[in-house]
Amino acid sequence: MNRKDEAKHSARLRASRTHQGPNHWHVERRSNIIICGNCEAKIPVWKNPQYCPECEEGK
């Protein structure tokens, strides 16, 4: 593996340790948008929602 592939691999392992499973939300880097893991809805961070407005899944 080259360095880029090694970095991707270690990032995926780190993400799998820290995330709450496949239904997690993530915040885009250098952005103020939350992306739902189920329906890929883009939600502004400043709204601070507890649930996705489109698919009704929680954080």
Q: Give pLDDT, residue 29.
A: 61
Take residue 32 and report the two structure tokens written for it: 């103020």
How far apart CA 25 and CA 4 sit, in angstroms, is 25
pLDDT score for 44:
83
**pLDDT, tens only, 2-50:** 888 888 788 777 776 665 555 555 555 666 777 787 788 888 877 877 8
User: For residue 55, what are the contacts with CB-CB under 8 A and spacing of at least 6?
Assistant: 36, 38, 39, 41
The full 3-state SS of 40-53, as one line of letters, equals CCEEEHHHCCCECC
- Residue 22 neighbours by CB under 8 Å, 6+ apart: 37
